[in-house]
Amino acid sequence: MSSFLEIESVHKSFGTNEVLSGVDLHVNEHQVVCLIGASGSGKSTLLRCINGLEPIDGGEIRLDDERVSGRGVDVNWLRQEVGIVFQSFNLFPHMTVLQNVTLAPVKVLGRPKAEARERAMTLLAQIGLADKATEYPDRLSGGQQQRVAIVRALAMGPRLLLLDEITSALDPELVAEVLNIVRGLAEEGMTMLLATHEMGFAREVSTKVCFLDCGVVAEEGPPEQIFSEPTHPRTQSFLRRIIEADRL
């Protein structure tokens, strides 16, 4: 049986710098897969390739058995299926929270405005931000902005959600409110692939952890195994540094 998301020996270079040198990764439906690894190991690039924001140089990505990388792919359709949330939120500063959330459903899916607004309000209410619907993003805290960004992606009804270090730009006391939403999504069975530095969270929420190093998946397995008995020496030294920094 094939997986929901299949990444087969994906290569990606920026100029002479090869960031991904043959990444293989499978994600099943309702799985939460965490990508860990040092900065520059290619986590973000991989997520951006899956979403079609970066074209890949070699290999193939398939979603539900359909090729979604390379030429001739309808990226606008792909992005309706695969949502992404960024480290720096990237909300549209000239739009209110509600406008941020309804823009794509109205313009891309052609939903009637009233309906899109209703759905957006339901989503905002679930994350406790219904009262901020008419505020502009700059008036919200980082944690609130990131929660809105998650809702903006969810409003498109994606089947796969990519989370790119979504708590890295947040003050420590704001991390929990964002992670709680991700936890809730995991419980609801949302398929997610997340790049993260929050090892404790990765250990708790994920079904599978992948250690990315030098552009390849150096080791993967269930969280207990990766965090307790890593076999690859690179994984061991990476986790040792994390423990030294008191982050695990």
Instruction: Summarize as ranges the residues that interact with another protein (CB under 8 A).
Output: 48, 51, 53, 75-77, 79-80, 83-84, 86, 88, 90-94, 103-104, 107-109, 136, 138-139, 152-153, 156
- On the CB side of 248, CA atoms within 13 Å amount to 18
Residue 240 CB, nearest distance to another protein (Å)?
A: 26
Residue 79 CB, nearest distance to another protein (Å)?
A: 4
Nearer to another protein, 24 or 135 (CB): 135
CA atoms of 213 and 222, how far apart (whole Å)? 18
Residue 118 CB, nearest distance to another protein (Å)?
A: 19
CA atoms of 121 and 133, how far apart (whole Å)? 8
Residue 152 CB, nearest distance to another protein (Å)?
A: 7
Q: How far apart are the first and last CA of the chain?
A: 35
Nearer to another protein, 87 or 207 (CB): 87
- On the CB side of 63, CA atoms within 13 Å amount to 22
Residue 74 CB, nearest distance to another protein (Å)?
A: 10
Nearer to another protein, 138 or 244 (CB): 138
Nearer to another protein, 12 or 208 (CB): 12
Residue 99 CB, nearest distance to another protein (Å)?
A: 9
Residue 239 CB, nearest distance to another protein (Å)?
A: 30
Nearer to another protein, 153 or 202 (CB): 153
Q: Which of 63, 48, 73 is nearest to 4 (CA)?
A: 63
Give exposure, 158-174, as e/b (b: 16+ Cβ within 10 Å).
bebbbbbbbbeebeeeb
96, burial (CB in 10 Å: exposed 0-12, middle 13-18, buried 19+): middle
Nearer to another protein, 110 or 172 (CB): 110
Nearer to another protein, 43 or 48 (CB): 48
